[in-house]
Amino acid sequence: MESRILVLDGNQRASLAAVRSLGSRNLWVAVAESTATSMAGMSRYCKVRATYPDPYESPRLFFEAIVKLVNDLDISFLLPITEATTYVLLRYRDELPQHVTFPFPRSDSVEKLANKNELFKYATIKGVPVPETLFCENAEEGLRKLGQIDHFPIVLKPFKSKILEDGHIVSTRVLIAESAEQARSYLASYNFFSYPFTIQSFIAGTGQGVFALYNHGKPVCYFSHRRIREKPPAGGVSVLSESAPLNDALRLSAEHLLGGVQWHGVAMVEFRVDHNGTGYLMEVNPRFWGSLQLAIDSGIDFPWWLYLVCTEQQMPEVKWRQRRVRWILGDLDRLIIILKSPNKNYSFGQKLIEVLRFFQPGLQTRHEVNRWNDLRPFWFELRQYLRALRR
């Protein structure tokens, strides 16, 4: 029987990477999004495009639409990409048609890692370094515990980036407070602090991640990369990155966490490495990541290998190679941010250097979205980008 795969969140770059990975293996792939058209849906490897209700506005209607798509298209493998779609499907997973493969472990395993309040308690038991942490159930408790803090900055970290309620999804964000006064202002201003969160010490250092694929608690492969440029420049989404050797200490920490909950599927474990080389746990995301294409180009084809694991097929030999990948429109955005910055942040000379660097990405750099054998996703992304600039 032919496998039929449905990839959700078609406007995500990771969705496009997954569609290209699986479609290039001659697998039948459909793409769905809450919009009529999407970047991944424009790929030559997409057989069918579909839409669903916005999961943020109506999680239950979204789920019912996915079940209908699974049945109508005879889908055998369901692959959400973002946290929002993943969490909705996890909540109602018992109602999914039995014939469809949903590549995630038990919901309690996901909750133990995705819920940051639970994660940091669990990590401490496992001996994984975490920042100094105060656990808070709501803003009122947070205001009381601010009195225990005598050093700043601090980090206010909601227990989840997407909080699933019965009728909608609440989006949160991590906030850095430079003073107690600023922390109190944040707690009073953002309604998501009515949910559990942590107050953590700020770790100065660099962000590093371990990307993993697990098969019922056993590691299949790991991957790591180095961020060369980010948007915004001070730290954010990677726009130019390259594969890098795996940090053994970080890999071991990731192994303690993922193996301990019998993880199944992919996961992204993020750390902050300080000047002493200690990797402090930041979060674990039970999903694919933005720079997925870099791993694929480097020989670690996570979407294809995830499919092989879940369909109990033989795995190929892992052969890692160094590659560099650039998201060109994200890199352009970064350059614009720098050029618009006041001279106190970037001098004229620094801005000129950034312009030169933008036009010299390196001969071995591959583009993440714009690929000669599959250009329509880039033209779609470019049109959306230009429309946004005109607003």
Contact status, residue 87 vs residue 200, Cβ threshold 8 Å: no
176 and 230 assigned to the same domain: no
Q: Clarify whether residues 242 and 353 are in a common domain.
A: yes
Q: What is the reported pLDDT for 177?
A: 95
Domain co-membership, 285 together with 322:
yes
The total of structural domains in the chain comes to 3
pLDDT in tens, 272-282: 999 999 999 99
Q: Decide if 194 contacts 233 (C-beta within 8 A).
A: no
Distance CA 340, CA 342 (A): 7
pLDDT of residue 1: 60
Same domain flag for 86 and 114: no
Determine the pLDDT at residue 363. Answer: 64
Final residue of a domain: which of 185, 201, 217?
A: 201
Domain harbouring 299, CATH code: 3.30.470.20
Task: Supply the CATH number for residue 9's domain.
Answer: 3.40.50.720
Do 112 and 194 lie in one domain? The reply is: no
CA 245 from chain centre, in angstroms, equals 20
What's residue 316's pLDDT? 87
Max Cα-Cα span within the chain: 63
Q: What is the CATH number of the domain that holds 150?
A: 3.30.1490.20
* Residue 193: domain span: 132-201
164 and 180, same domain (yes or no): yes
Give mean pLDDT in consecutive 10-residue pieces for the chain, a chain of 391 residues. Answer: 92 98 97 97 98 96 98 97 95 95 91 95 96 96 93 95 90 94 96 96 90 96 91 86 93 96 95 93 92 95 96 88 94 94 90 92 85 96 91 76
